[in-house]
Amino acid sequence: MNRLIRQPRSHLFFKTGGRTHRLLKYSLYFSTSGILFTFIENSVAITKAKKQDILARLEDIRKSSESIVFVKFKGVTVKDTTIMRQKMRSEGVGYFVAKKTLMKRVFGEAFEGEMPELEGEIAVAYSTDAIAPAQNVKEFAAKFKDNIAIVGGVFQGVFKNKEEMTEIASIPPLQTLRGMFAQLINSPRQRFAVVLSKVSETK
């Protein structure tokens, strides 16, 4: 009677229609008679053209962004991801998921400092606004504490770690800063106007 003996998994590739496929989940079994059985659970097609498209997108992000945030995500629903993307887009922030190896290839030597360690599934939030990406990610990280986190980023051409990007996320928006500055400038004038008014009342 034949018995099936399971073999350890390893990377397995095959070609169909000019495309290369890598099996992500599969099991290899050998029967005692030497017959190979392969049970395929899942496969993902990877193409050179697709990889080039992703690299081109990352290159564009690198060249055009004032700030990039590396976002660790896990277990976020499609609905919540869609809501997050729409909110970010409305504030001029892009959100893009790519393989870490491709991110390292594009970003690794492009900025000053040391690229932060990227663990788990990673996306990038980016914008020509230097503060908006970090602020948006921080907002959603507070909402989805176990699912989204800032793990570092790039701020005006320099790599930043998790703590530094979180601090940047705490900087008030530019419009708020302008309002605070205007209030600071106007405050002495307002006090002086009140003093003049009081002086005129005594005459």
Written as tens digits, the pLDDT of the chain (203 aa) is 444 444 444 444 444 455 554 544 444 444 444 444 433 344 445 588 899 999 999 999 999 999 999 999 999 999 999 999 999 999 999 999 999 999 999 999 999 999 999 999 999 999 999 999 999 999 999 999 889 999 999 999 999 999 999 999 988 766 665 665 666 556 665 655 554 565 555 55
Tell me, yes or no, whether 196 lies in a domain: no
0.85 surpassed by pTM: no
Same structural domain for residues 37 and 20? yes
Nearest to 103 by CA among 74, 134, 136, 125: 125
Does one domain contain both 152 and 57?
A: yes
Asked if the structure places residue 80 within a domain, the reply is yes
Q: What is the CATH number of the domain that holds 98?
A: 3.30.70.1730
Q: Give the tokens for residue 39.
A: 């049970």
Instruction: Please tell me the total count of domains within the chain.
Output: 2
- The answer to whether residue 187 is domain-embedded is no
| 14 and 59 fall within a common domain | no
Token pair in block for residue 202: 């005594």
Regarding whether 144 and 97 lie in a shared domain, the answer is yes
User: CA 92, CA 128: separation in Å to the nearest integer?
Assistant: 8
Q: Please report whether residue 150 resides in a domain.
A: yes
In the chain, where do the E strands start and end? 4-7, 12-16, 19-31, 36-46, 67-73, 94-97, 122-127, 148-155, 158-160
End-to-end CA distance of the chain: 117
